[in-house]
Chain A
Amino acid sequence: QVVLTQSPSASASLGASVKLTCTLSSGHSSYAIAWHQQQPEKGPHYLMKLNNDGSHNKGGGIPDRFSGSSSGAERYLIISSLQSEDEADYYCQTWDTGIQVFGGGTKLTVL
């Protein structure tokens, strides 16, 4: 079964850019994923679907500052011009033979 691996934490300065990584387990490098943001004390919010070729479809209202890219088994969420409200947990998610799988999440701190 597919496993998603994320670093537990990341940090970047206000106004800077950050790239968060989600790694697919061996044999699953062709899989698409989704990225979700969870701000403190709130439920998750869908950001985008990211395909293995780097193409992505964002959810409604997601700012242009959020984008995605792919390289091999790695899927990236890139946030530019960081704002204080971007401080949140970010989860990747994929699906395999009818089962949904989540990564452990990355806590992003905006300095």
Chain B
Amino acid sequence: QVQLQESGPGLVKPSETLSLTCTVSGGSITSHYWSWIRQYPGKGLEWIGYIYYSGSTNYNPSLKSRVTISVDTSKKQFSLKLSSVTAADTAVYYCARGVEEVNYWGQGTLVAVSS
């Protein structure tokens, strides 16, 4: 059974860069697409972007200028960097598998943006 686990700071200061890592276990990281999705406190879900194991990426146009997703297949990890954060970036961040239907989700990690 594929399992995904997010890790990273739970608090980030405004204007700084949010960094999260997702570790994949129970399955291969190769031949799959890996996504980052966030959920606002009011419950809406927003797709951030995805990466193929080979390194090709696609980002939400609304976040593209601030987002970088990378992958390290040797560690079975992929990562998210979101720059110049504001309070509006406060959310639960999920890593997930899939470029069409998302068929595996991590448990999520809350990231608050505050000074």
Chain A contact residues, majority secondary structure: strand
A105 at the interface (CB under 8 A from B): yes
Q: Is the CB of A46 within 8 A of B102?
A: yes
Judge if B53 is at the interface, Cβ distance under 8 Å. no
Tier of interface size on chain A? 20 to 34
In the complex, which residue of chain A has the Cβ closest to the Cβ of B46?
A102
B58 part of interface (Cβ distance < 8 Å): yes
Residues of B within 8 A of A93 (CB): 45, 101-102
Asked if B77 CB lies within 8 Å of chain A CBs, one says no
Name B residues whose Cβ lies closer than 8 Å to a Cβ of A: 1, 35, 37, 43-47, 50, 58, 60-61, 92, 94, 99-108
A interface list, Cβ under 8 A from B: 32-34, 36, 42-46, 49, 59-60, 89, 91, 93, 95, 98-102, 104-105
